[in-house]
Structure 1
Amino acid sequence: MSNDTNNNPNLLYTEKGPSLKSQFNDFFKQFPHHSLEYTKSIFPIRNWIGRYNLTWLYGDLIAGFTVGAVVIPQAMGFANIVGIPVEYGLYSSFVGMALYCLFATSKDMTIGPTAVMSIILAQTIPRVKADYGDTDFPYLSTDITTTICFFSGIISLAIGLFRLGWLFNFIPVYCQEIFNLIKLNLSIGQLPNLFGITGVETRLNPPYRILIDFCAGLPRTKSDVAIGLISLAFLYAVKYGCAYGEKRSTKYKKVFFFCDEKLFPFRVVKKVPRGLNHVKVPNFEPQLVNAVFKSIHIIVLISLLEHISIAKSFGRINDYKVQPSQEIIAIGITNVIGSFLGAITATGSFSRSALKSRAGVRTPLSGVSSATLVILALYVLTPAFFYIPQAALSAVIIQAVMVLLSRPSYIKTLYYVECNLGLGCLRYCYRSLHNGIFASWGFSFLVLLARMARPRVDTLGRLALATFNRKSDRSDDSIPKYAFVPLEDPSFTTVETPPEGIVIFRFTESLTFPNSNYIDDSIVEYIELHTRRLYKRAVKKDDQPWNETDGLVDAAENEKLSPLRAVIYDFSAISYVDTSGFQALIDVRKAVNKHAAREVEYHFVNILDERVQNALIRADFGRQIPIITESINEKTENNIEEGIEFPKTNKRFFHLTIEEAIVEAQS
């Protein structure tokens, strides 16, 4: 027992917690040990590399080389979308796959350039040039992308090292579905190339504008459309043909899988220079950095959100746990180091991760074999890459992106559950991705605040479930079993009201400052309407206080109501109560005691946190009640407000079940 408890007999069964001084002493004493453990936690590879075996190696090599064959054309194609030389995409893929195994908590993830990040960078480059200020922009687009890559990596690394990955739990699922619009926008942006139409701005304009310009340019269609449509038809024929063969023939399932169109290197455009030709320090010129920082927030947000959502998805599918903060560290280090090699911002790729998972990957070390294939391509295989028509490349991009879109039924479900997705989509279609993401997230935040500030305060009743007989000689010795449900719920027609004089409240949110006043008013209003008022109020109009707006009191109606004996609070949904919440409960007690002209009992059920219980006790909850009086005079009212000394009691005001609280309230 603490000293405060010994001095004040009204403070019951509180536990003595550690002092602030002892907590600081323990922290500094354990600091070296915790620092070492923290450093070890940054490298999860140490947990499994000692158990590495030939079986794992076989699976990793197959999956790694499969993904490597896919990532080479994809990386060059995505760099082409950004508007920079194609080798920059290969640099990004090499660094991401080579380093990820050191920090990975997901065996399936593949880091590199993606469709979403490519279109974001393509839209960001002109914005940075506009924010730079000078009419004559003195730098190349690659200077912008490497600077963005470095600072996005630094920010991501800081978020990961401080273990702030939980912040991304505040991004709702339907905000992530706006990525579907980005992929759709990418496909729409390839239509002019597919038809050979020039003069259509596809990087800055929103989707609706691209479609309008594309339709207006249809009379300028060139012969490229023949190559483009034939290529697109061929890709879909191979895709669905292999899928059909894989489903029908178990014997040749692997053959059909590795014949998938994803392995065809159609995305190569022009000759790729050999080796790592752009190794240098990123450009840190202050004016350029300032322009980059105006747009970097959306790049960091989308890169981390895309990666974490994909990693968690494969973690659920393959039954392993992903640590978001650790994955963010991997993204940060990849982009920081990659920026010195000329890489563009990298993140997790869904299509390549899915391919790796299906190919039978065993550990994150498979990325090394993929990186080996990429660096081999950069130094040895560049003569094998030759030019293909731009229309065919556009066909490959359209087909690859369209298969990643969520099913319409899933989008429809999200729309019915959360209409905020529709707001974000509409904002994106008419403005930009930045506006779409922040419009849906901002509206979601407002909805969250509204739900916190106006939670449901349910008044509960009993729903009889069954009666169990004790093994006893008494024939009437039985235990009734009840469920407690909201009285106003229309789906329950046989709900019994609580015993006379007892009111039960259940909260749906924690008691915090946004909702404390609302909960206070809701409880007091219900009690005043449904229980007898014993506090004598004005019966004459001349004696009515100025602040009473409900007219003269109907004494006859008041007499029909039962006097209040006890209030039961169900805290099963409450995980935290702040100072405003405790003050609201104290204000309720003061108003209710005045209304009932007595000290009402207050019982608490299912308190999840011992600190909440101790704080309630210190606020004088959990005491014996005084002798009941019919009315209170001025002296009694003052005593109630100031707190009356009562003898020490046991834990009869804190319970595990509502039934137990009702029994105690009736005793």
Structure 2
Amino acid sequence: MEEEGLPVSWRGAGDKAGGWARLARRRVPLLRWLPTYDRVSALADLVAGITLGLTLVPQSIAYASLANLPVQYGLYSSFVGTMLYVVLGTVKEVSIGPTSLMALFTLQICRGLPVEFVVLLTFLSGCVVLIMGLLRLGFLVELISPSVTSGFTSATAIIIVAAQLKGLLGLSFTAESVGDNIRLIVTKWDDIRYADCALGAVCCTVLLLLRKLKDVRVRSPRVGRALWLVSISRNALVVLAASSFAYLTHHPNQPLFKLSGRVEPGLPRLSVPPFSASVDNSTVTFVDMVQQLGSAVIMLPIVMVLANIAIAKAFCAGGRVDATQEMVTLGLCNMAGALVHAMPTCGAFTRSAVSHSSGVRTPAAGLYSGIITLLALIFLTQYFYFIPKACLSSVLICAVIFMVDVRSVARLWRRDRRELAVLALTFCVSIVRTVELAVLAGAVASLAVLLRQLMRPDIQLHCIKTAHGEAVRVRPAQGLVYVNGELVARRLLAAAARAAPRPVLLDCAHLAMLDYAAMQVLERLIKKLKADEQLLIMYNVAEQLVARFELLEGVERRGLRATSAAEALASVAAAQLPAGEDSAALLAPAEPEPDALQP
């Protein structure tokens, strides 16, 4: 039987050939969908790719401006990733390119440094992500809780809005924090350019109105499709209109608006990543550059992977994502992007949503959006000079303002205040310090909350009445490990002392872990209760933990597999009957409702 959709050149008669073919199809997803690619899919991808390109080009220009880079660097970052993802990507909606989060990271890490540092950061980030993928370290991303993600994305939106206010007001200054931006705006209030303010207000209004245009209900499908197309192309339309107006009203000696300025025309020069740079008329070595970048070389790739996998899960059918393949692809995209002077890139939710709503069929849509970016670099760079900075600031503000996650705050306030504290910590550290430090602080805080819950497990104490008399049931939650074993033992001994001489039942239904330290604690507990002539019976043990419980010295093994208190008591009592008696008669029916054990 032929392997489905596999090209003839990959089919082999032997197991070795078949293994190579399976490996190729797994690691080069293009081989899975290309053999069945048809005209309908090609047309759908063409429409989606063009639509995506109309979104990608103005966004890339705006994100380059956010990172304090020349406009062309945003476009350099927009075509390699999208094209490479066609071959290696697994989720058809994902579009690799510059994002607001990556641009903000780049600004904070490389502020005041030559562009060579940005390109090297892109290359090193790609190397780290590739290594994470090859070593299957995707589980590290799971250490960052949704509360941390919500906190730093919301803070990112606030930081970007604060940083772009100066563009809306026509001001020019350098600020490193939200507070600095607000302070300098107040200080320079008399220097506000009213033409830029008016243009920014118009652009923001139009962008927000066009955003809602796709939700207008109309009877005609064609009209609805046209409204939808105009809505998702709003960034390109607004940038085009503002640039045209700036071009028509431009006066060389007295420009009406602050403009983007000259843009380097043509395609980027292909070169290896810079391993040295010139700073203040002195040459900085590769080691010095890495030291200057610092912990960002590790933190940026983690955030990059987190964002990309989260987007992939949101759009992947069934929510199942090949995390290893996505990390390998993302790493290669950034490493290849560094060859054309790209800034760090990853997937963007807004572009993925555009692809999804455009009816994309395969990752081939990225090929068309990449071509649009290349055409813009070749033919349109001379016109990028006239893009008003107020317009770019409007595009950025209207793109990120909806990233502020107010819903999560409301939900956590009702359901889990500890996770809300983690979100608040991440948000505040992002605003006051840096986003990468906030991610680290939030991850540590989340693990601390989890560790505290493990150290202070919920322990239920009940009196049990069965056909064999009364007993005390102790039901600890989560697991018995070194951080909570002594606490559980103390509470169990206290319950046993109050219930003596009744036996003590340890219900292990909720236990998922048992380490060596906890096993030692249980052995001491068994000896203590035996010395006090009190029976400790463990029951309802999960199958994977039975072997570990059987290793305990002095444990009563007959009750381990019992599923109820009555069955556990009956099994132990049956072992104490004289030979020949019927132990089945001791099995009690369903146990009654327990009474709470009073302290």
TM range (shorter): 0.7 to 0.9
Distance verdict in 2 for CA 1:33–1:461, change over 3 Å: farther
Match for residue 279 of structure 1 among 251, 270, 285:
270
Match of 1:24 in 2: none
Query: 1:246·1:252 contact (CA, 8 Å) conserved in 2?
Result: no
Identify the range of structure 1 (612-621 vs 253-262) with the bigger mean alpha-carbon deviation.
612-621
Partner of 1:196: 170
User: In structure 1, how many angstroms separate the alpha carbons of the residues matched to 2:410 and 2:469?
Assistant: 48
Q: Check the 8 A contact 1:498/1:504 in 2, yes or no.
A: no
Give the 3 Å change call, closer, same or farther, for CA 653–183 of structure 1 in structure 2. Answer: closer
TM alignment of 1:80-479, pairs within 5 A: 80-126=65-111, 129=113, 141-177=114-150, 178-199=152-173, 201-202=174-175, 204=176, 206-223=177-194, 224-240=196-212, 242-246=213-217, 250=221, 252-260=223-231, 261-264=234-237, 266=239, 269-284=260-275, 285-315=286-316, 318-383=317-382, 385=384, 387-406=386-405, 408-416=406-414, 417=416, 418=419, 419-460=421-462
Residues 417-566 of structure 1: pairs in structure 2 closer than 5 A: 417=416, 418=419, 419-460=421-462, 500-528=469-497, 530-532=498-500, 563-566=501-504
CA distance in 2, matches of 1:79, 1:41: 34
Counterparts of 1:67 and 1:372, CA distance in 2? 11
Distance 1:499 1:43 in 2: 65
1:181 Cα deviation after fit: 1.4
Q: Does residue 1:581 correspond to 2:582, yes or no?
A: no
Following the alignment from structure 1 to structure 2, what is the Cα–Cα distance between the partners of residues 582 and 377?
A: 67
Give the secondary structure class of the aligned counterpart of 1:266.
helix
Question: Aligned pair in 2 of structure 1 residues 31, 378: CA closer, same or farther (>3 Å)?
Answer: same
Structure 1, residues 541-578: CA drift from partner, whole Å, max 9, x if none? xxxxxxxxxxxxxxxxxxxxxx23352422x3333322
Indicate if the aligned counterparts of 2:468 and 2:570 stay in contact, CA closer than 8 A: no
Q: Secondary structure at the match of 1:387?
A: coil
- How far off its partner does 1:78 sit? 0.8
In 2: Cα distance, 1:234 partner to 1:589 partner = 74
Which protein, 1 or 2, shows the higher relative CO under an 8 Å CA cutoff with sep ≥ 6?
A: 2
Aligned equivalents of 2:470 and 2:462: distance in 1? 13
**SS of match in other structure, 1:502:** strand
Unaligned runs of 5+ in 2: 1-14, 244-259, 276-285, 574-585, 587-599
Query: Deviations for 1:218-268, whole angstroms, at most 9, x for unmatched residues?
Result: 22211221222122222223333x134346765522111101113426188
Cα distance in structure 2, aligned partners of 1:381 and 1:222: 28
Aligned-partner SS, 1:355: helix
Q: What is the deviation of 1:349?
A: 0.5
**Residue deviations 1:268-318, cap 9 Å, x none?**
844543443332111222211222244322312221222122222223xx5
Match of 1:630 in 2: none
| Cα-to-partner distance string for 1:497-522 (whole Å, 9 max, x where unaligned) | 99644232222222222222222222
Aligned AA for 2:227?
Answer: F
Judge conservation of contact 2:108–2:434 (CA < 8 Å) in 1.
no
Query: 1:159 offset after TM fit, Å?
Result: 0.6
> What are the superposed Cα offsets for residues 563-605 of structure 1, whole Å, 9 maximum, x if unpaired?
23352422x333332211221221221122122x25x252321
Amino acid in the other structure paired with 1:531: A
In 2, distance between residues paired with 1:339 and 1:388? 26
What's the CA shift string for 1:419-459, capped at 9, x where partnerless? Answer: 22112222333333234323322222222221122212222
- How many pairs are equivalent? 524
Query: Could you tell me how far 1:75 is from its partner in structure 2?
Result: 0.8
SS in 1 for 2:35: helix
Name the one with the larger helix percent: 2
Aligned-partner Cα distance in 1 for 2:332–2:521? 48
Segment drifting more, 170-179 vs 440-449: 440-449
Is residue 461–residue 498 contact of structure 1 (8 Å, CA) maintained in 2? no
d(CA) in 1 for partners of 2:17 and 2:520? 42
**How far apart are the structure 1 equivalents of 2:85 and 2:204?**
33
CA distance in 1, matches of 2:179, 2:16: 57
Query: Deviation at 1:104?
Result: 2.1
1:387 and 1:454, CA in 2 relative to 1: closer, same or farther beyond 3 A? same
Quote how far apart the aligned CAs of 1:364 are. 1.9
Contact residue 59 and residue 361 of structure 1 kept, 8 A: yes
Q: Distance in 1 between matches of 2:489 and 2:19?
A: 44
Structure 1 contact 307–348 (Cα < 8 Å) conserved: yes
Aligned amino acid, residue 299 of structure 2: I
Distance 1:123 1:374, change over 3 A: same
Work out which of the two has the higher radius of gyration on C-alpha atoms and give 1 or 2: 1
The answer as to whether partners of 1:95 and 1:337 remain within 8 angstroms in 2 is yes
Query: Is residue 429–residue 437 contact of structure 2 (8 Å, CA) maintained in 1?
Result: yes
Identity across the alignment (%):
24
Preserved CA contact (<8 Å) 2:64 2:74: yes
Against the structure 1 CA distance between its residues 451 and 32, is the aligned structure 2 distance closer, same or farther, given a 3 Å change threshold? farther
**1:607 matched to 2:542:** yes
Distance 2:337 2:489 in 1: 56
For the residue of structure 2 that corresponds to 1:245, the secondary structure is: coil
**Deviation, structure 1 residue 392:** 2.0
Find the residue that maps to 2:410 and give its secondary structure.
helix
Asked if the contact 1:568–1:661 (Cα under 8 Å) also holds between the matched residues in 2, the reply is: no
| Distance in structure 2 (CA, Å) of the matches to 1:582 and 1:33 | 48
The range that moved more, 431-440 or 177-186, is 431-440
Q: Note the C-alpha offset of 1:621.
A: 5.8
Relative to structure 1, the CA distance from residue 521 to residue 566 in structure 2 (aligned partners, 3 Å threshold; closer, same or farther) is closer
**Distance across 1 between alignment mates of 2:96 and 2:110:** 22
Q: Distance in 2 between matches of 1:244 and 1:303?
A: 31
The structure-2 alpha-carbon separation of the partners of 1:497 and 1:98, relative to structure 1 and needing over 3 Å to count, comes to farther
Tell me, what secondary structure is at the counterpart of 2:239? Answer: coil
Please state how far the C-alpha of 1:665 moved relative to its aligned partner: 4.6
Question: Is the Cα–Cα contact under 8 Å of residues 66 and 263 in structure 1 kept in the other structure?
Answer: no
In structure 2, distance between residues paired with 1:280 and 1:167:
33
- Which letter maps to 1:108? E
Tell which deviates more after alignment, 576-585 or 347-356. Answer: 576-585
Gaps in structure 1 of 5+ consecutive residues: 1-29, 130-140, 463-495, 533-562, 625-650
| TM-score, with structure 1 as normaliser | 0.73
Q: Distance in 2 between matches of 1:431 and 1:282?
A: 29
